[in-house]
């Protein structure tokens, strides 16, 4: 079984992960829920919600890009200040698009 701290990081990650089960099968997708002893994942090419017991996970890797990386409030404010300092006008308060 992999460390619980790794599962917590995977839950906070806003991209796809690949779970390798003890039997050798893999499941790639987005972890959207966790509970006592399990995680739930939406497979990459499906809308199904699959429950995977922690005890069944042999390995977990971060295979996708974190869609919210660099999209924090602090980053937005820093970019806003930089643009305003450069003389740019009509800078709105609209959020950036997530890719």
Q: How many CA atoms lie within 13 A of 70 on its CB side?
A: 7
Q: How far apart are CA 67 and CA 88, in angstroms?
A: 27
pLDDT of the residue at 89: 83
pLDDT of the residue at 96: 62
Does residue 95 lie in a domain region? no
What's the structural domain count of the chain? 1
Instruction: State both tokens at 52.
Output: 């995977």
pLDDT of the residue at 3: 76
78: CATH: 2.30.30.520
Whole-structure pTM value: 0.64
Domain residues for 49?
1-89
pLDDT tens-digit profile of 43-98? 998 989 999 999 999 999 998 776 666 666 777 788 888 888 898 887 776 666 66
């Amino acid at each position: 079984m992999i460390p619980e701290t790794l599962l917590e990081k995977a839950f906070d990650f806003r991209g796809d992960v690949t779970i390798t089960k003890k039997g050798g099968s893999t499941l790639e997708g987005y972890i959207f829920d966790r509970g006592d002893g399990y995680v739930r994942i939406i497979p990459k090419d499906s809308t199904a919600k699959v429950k995977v017991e922690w005890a069944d996970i042999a390995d977990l890797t971060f295979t996708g890009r974190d869609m919210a990386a660099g999209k924090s409030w602090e980053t937005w404010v820093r970019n806003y200040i930089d643009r305003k300092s450069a003389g740019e006008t009509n800078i709105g308060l609209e959020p950036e698009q997530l890719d």
